[in-house]
Amino acid sequence: MAIKTSSFRSKYRAATDFMVTGLAITATILVVVPLVAIFVYLLLKGASSLNLDFFLKNPVPEGESGGGMANAIVGSGVLLGIASLIGVPIGIGAGIYLAEFGRGTKLANAVRFTADTLNGVPSIVMGLAAYSLIVIPQQHFSALSGGVALGIMMIPTVARTTEEMLLMVPNMIREAALGLGLSNWRSVLSISVKTASPGIITGCMLAFARVAGETAPLIFTALGNAFWSVNPDREIEALPLQIWVYATGPYEDQHRLAWAGALVLIVLIVLAVSLVRYVTSRGVLKGAS
């Protein structure tokens, strides 16, 4: 027997379907528009000031034209390198503890709560912490202190995504590993973490991209440096710092360089994230989930 549908009900259903689809599409557009708008605006404002000098030369004294941000680009690289060396291993380690070893323990709950709180701490406070812990005892600003501030900021994001991704690994995969006579730590590292690794890498990339654009924690740690420096023990320039200084300065030339700097910063972050994704996605097998 065929089911009779009243035409009103089927029209109503079609209308609802249309509306919900429409809302979802609108929301998607609202997400994409600001991103595209910012990028297009940066291209319009900054692309014209980009030339080889921008990547190869250090800043020139105020009032002179020309110069570039070579020291800031490399400085940002040094700072983010230090930050990743601190944030990624500690964050992943903490996430593994939360998901695999400490499930349900008081310590794990305390660590999880601390990580969430740390995630909400304003970035300038991180800068102050690094300032009082490293800069004051050493009595000088340094790339190291800036990197530590950024690294600590990465920890909660990395730890919590690692935990979430590990919790998504089905328990039967762990049982399979234990059933083969693997020790617990071996099963965690070679099976659970490996299975969750695409998600964990995404978490690391999110944390990386977030701190790459941070200015506030660097103000009284890395400080900025008009000259070439890659020494972690000295003041160092960073792209966000340089953009901030130039954008708030009085000179038209500096404003243009600031726009170019912002463009380069975004492109470099996208490149770094894509590169890591490409490198880590090689060797993924057909049909692997």
Partner 1 sequence: MGVGIEVTNLNAWYGSNHTLQDINLKIPANHATALIGPSGCGKSTFVRCLNRMHETNPIARVTGTVRIGDMDIYNDAQPVEIRRRVGMVFQRPNPFPTMSIYDNVASGLKLNGYKNKRSLDEIVERSLKNSALWDEVKDDLRSKSGASLSGGQQQRLCIARALAVDPEVLLMDEPASALDPVSTSKIEDLIFQLKSQYTIVIVTHNMQQAARVAEETGFFLNGRMVEFASTHKIFTNPSDKRTEDYITGRFG
Residues forming the site for partner 1 (CB under 8 A) = 104, 170, 172-173, 175-183, 186, 190-191, 194-195, 197, 284-289
CB of 185 to partner 1, least distance (A): 11
Tell me the residue type at 89: P
Pick between residue 86 and residue 169 the one whose CB is nearest to partner 1: 169
Q: Cβ 105 to partner 1, closest distance in Å?
A: 10
Q: How far is the CB of 92 from partner 1 (least distance, A)?
A: 17
Q: Which residues contact 19 (CB under 8 A, 6 or more apart)?
A: none
CB nearer to partner 1: pick between 151 and 203: 203
For tokens 């049909």, the residue is: 287
Residue closer to partner 1 by CB (options 150, 196) is: 196
For the chain, how big is the Rg over CA atoms in Å? 24
Joined tokens for residue 36:
């595209």
Q: Which of 209, 105, 192 is nearest to 157 (CA)?
A: 209
- How far is the CA of 181 from the CAs of 33, 85, 241, in angstroms? 53, 33, 53
- Please, which residues have CB within 8 angstroms of residue 73's CB and are 6 or more apart in sequence? 55, 239, 264, 268
Shortest distance, CB of residue 144 to partner 1, whole angstroms? 36
What is the smallest separation between the CB atom of 179 and partner 1, expressed in angstroms? 4
What are the DSSP calls for 68-96, one per residue?
Answer: --HHHHHHHHHHHHHHHHHHHHHHHHHHH
Nearer to partner 1, 197 or 215 (CB): 197
Contacts of 99 (CB under 8 A, 6+ apart): 162, 163, 164, 166, 167, 192
Compare residues 12 and 185 and give the one whose CB is closer to partner 1: 185
CA-based nearest residue to 55, from 261, 267, 266: 261
Task: State in angstroms the smallest separation of the CB of 171 from partner 1.
Answer: 9
What ranges in 121-251 are assigned the alpha helix state H?
123-130, 136-138, 143-167, 171-179, 184-187, 193-212, 216-219, 239-248
Q: Based on CB atoms, which residue is closest to partner 1, 83 or 177?
A: 177
Considering beta carbons, is residue 100 or 235 the nearer one to partner 1?
100
Rounded to the nearest whole angstrom, what is the least distance from the CB of residue 287 to partner 1 in the complex? 2
Q: Which two tokens stand for residue 220?
A: 């009284």
